[in-house]
Amino acid sequence: FFFFKQKTAYEISLGLVGSEMCIRDRYQRRVHGIQLSRKHHRMGAHKPRGINCARKLHIKRRVNRWADKDYRKAHTGREFRWDPLGGSSHASGICVGKVGFESKQPNSALRKGIKVLLKKNNKKINAFVPKDGCLNYIDENDTVMIAGQGRRGRSVGDIPGIRYKAVTVAGISLKALYLGKKQKKKGQRLHLTQYIDQP
């Protein structure tokens, strides 16, 4: 609790304006000639301090870090079990078909996407195709590159359950195709049976 006292007319200087015309009485403590406030005096309370406390702090931090959701997610290996990309940022696959996703309320639209068979584990996932008209650049059996939507494994916007998007087709960026900087090469398709395990 702080007390304020107002300066007298004789103490007011011409250089003081506004809040500087009040003197704030605060708790002061000197340590090695340095003046500390009450905030600094309480800093580090209820925690081990001193030369021999490193092990205690280290163990305490190691245990309490597991309460952080992001830390726990990154160190339990869950991404290798539930993530179709296996913890990778991108994955290559084969387009096996074009699909449409109905947007959530209050929007009413049919978002364009593709169904992709991943090369690394033969899993099928749905991916959104960004940019207007970019679905026309993707044909069945084309090699496409899949990446996350940008929300750390979650769906984005009004497309429920779609966590991935297409970024390249036949080794060419969809953005470059959309801007007209490149054209899709013919003969870049790979046959689907190359990535399906034969019985």
The count of other CB atoms within 10 Å of the CB of residue 138 is 22
Task: State the pLDDT confidence band at 154, using cuts at 50, 70 and 90.
Answer: confident
Residue 9: strand, helix, or coil: coil
Q: Report the chain's mean pLDDT, rounded to a whole number.
A: 78
Share of the chain above pLDDT 90, in %: 39
CA distance 107 to 149: 19
Residue 8 has pLDDT above 70, yes or no: no
Q: Where are the beta strands (DSSP E) in the chain?
A: 3-6, 22-25, 29-31, 34-36, 90-102, 110-118, 124-128, 143-148, 164-169, 172-173
CA distance 100 to 111: 5
Distances (CA, A) of 142 to 109, 155, 169: 26, 24, 7
Read off the tokens for 195.
């990535």
Tell the residue number behind the tokens 């947007």, with chain if given: 103
Per DSSP, 104 falls in state: P
Q: pLDDT tens for residues 13-50? A: 555 555 544 444 444 555 555 555 555 545 456 778 77
